[in-house]
Amino acid sequence: MQKSDGMNYAPIGTFKSVCQPGEFIFAAAALDHGHIYGMCNGLKEAGGELKWVYDPDPVKVDKFVSIYPGVRVAASLDEILQDTDVKLVASAAIPSDRGPLGLKVMSSGKDYFTDKAPFTTLEQLEAARAKVAETGQKYAVYYSERLHVESSIYAGQLIEQGAIGRVLQVIGLGPHRISLSSRPDWFFDREQFGGILCDIGSHQIEQFLFFTGAKDAKVVHSKVANYSYPQHPTFEDFGDATLIGDNGATGYFRVDWMTPDGLSTWGDGRLTILGTEGYIELRKYVDIARDQTGDHVYLVNKDGEQHFAVKGQVGFPYFGQLILDCLNRTELAMTQEHTFKAAELCLIAQRDAIHLTQR
pLDDT at position 12 is 75
pLDDT score of 358: 72
Average pLDDT over residues 96-100: 98
Give 218-247 pLDDT, tens digit per residue.
999 999 999 999 999 999 999 999 999 999
What are the backbone dihedrals phi and psi of residue 314, each rounded to the nearest 5 degrees, phi first?
Answer: -110, -40
pLDDT tens for 158-185 read 999 999 999 999 999 999 999 998 899 9
Instruction: Say yes or no to pLDDT of 87 above 60.
Output: yes
The model's pLDDT over 41-79, given as tens digits with 9 standing for 90+, comes to 999 999 999 999 999 999 999 999 999 999 999 999 999
Give dist(CA 64, CA 23) in Å, integer.
Answer: 23
Query: In the prediction, which pLDDT does 251 show?
Result: 98
Closest CA to 174 of 152, 156, 141, 154: 152
pLDDT over threshold 80, residue 105: yes
Would the pTM of this model clear 0.85, i.e. be above it?
Answer: yes
pLDDT tens for 120-157 read 999 999 999 999 999 999 999 999 999 999 999 999 99
What is the rounded distance in angstroms from the CA atom of residue 199 to the CA atom of residue 144? 12
**pLDDT for the residue numbered 4:** 57
Query: What element of type H or E holds 45?
Result: helix 35-45
* CA–CA gap between residue 322 and residue 113 (Å, rounded): 9
Contact 38, 142 (CB under 8 A): yes
Over the chain, what is the mean pLDDT? 96
Predicted pLDDT of residue 8: 67
Choose the weakest-confidence range: 1-10, 212-221, 262-271.
1-10
- Residue 255: is its pLDDT beyond 80? yes
Beta strands 270-275 and 278-283 are antiparallel
Buried b (16+ CB within 10 A) or exposed e, 276-295: eebbbbbbbbbbeeeeebbb
The pLDDT tens digits for 271-310 are: 999 999 999 999 999 999 999 999 999 999 999 999 999 9
Residue 114 φ/ψ, nearest 5 degrees: -115, 155
Are the C-beta atoms of residues 125 and 100 closer than 8 Å to each other?
no
Helix residue spans in 161-227 (DSSP H): 190-193, 201-212
Confidence of residue 13 (pLDDT cuts 50, 70, 90): confident
Please, which pLDDT band fits residue 351 given cuts at 50, 70 and 90? very high
How is the beta sheet containing 167-175 ordered, strand by strand?
304-309, 296-301, 278-283, 270-275, 167-175, 250-256, 238-245, 217-225, 354-356
Q: Which neighbouring-strand residues pair with 256? A: 175, 238
pLDDT of residue 161: 97
The pLDDT confidence band at residue 15, using thresholds 50, 70 and 90, is confident
1 has pLDDT over 60: no
Q: Are strands 250-256 and 304-309 parallel, antiparallel or unpaired?
A: unpaired
Let me know: does 313 contact 12? Beta carbons within 8 Å: no
Can you give the pLDDT at residue 3? 60
Distance from the Cα of residue 114 to its chain's centroid: 9
Q: For residue 20, is pLDDT > 70? A: yes
List pLDDT tens digits, range 310-337: 999 999 999 999 999 999 999 999 999 9
Query: Which one-letter amino acid corresponds to residue 207?
Result: Q
- How many other CB atoms sit within 10 Å of the CB of residue 165? 15
SS3 assignment, position 299: strand
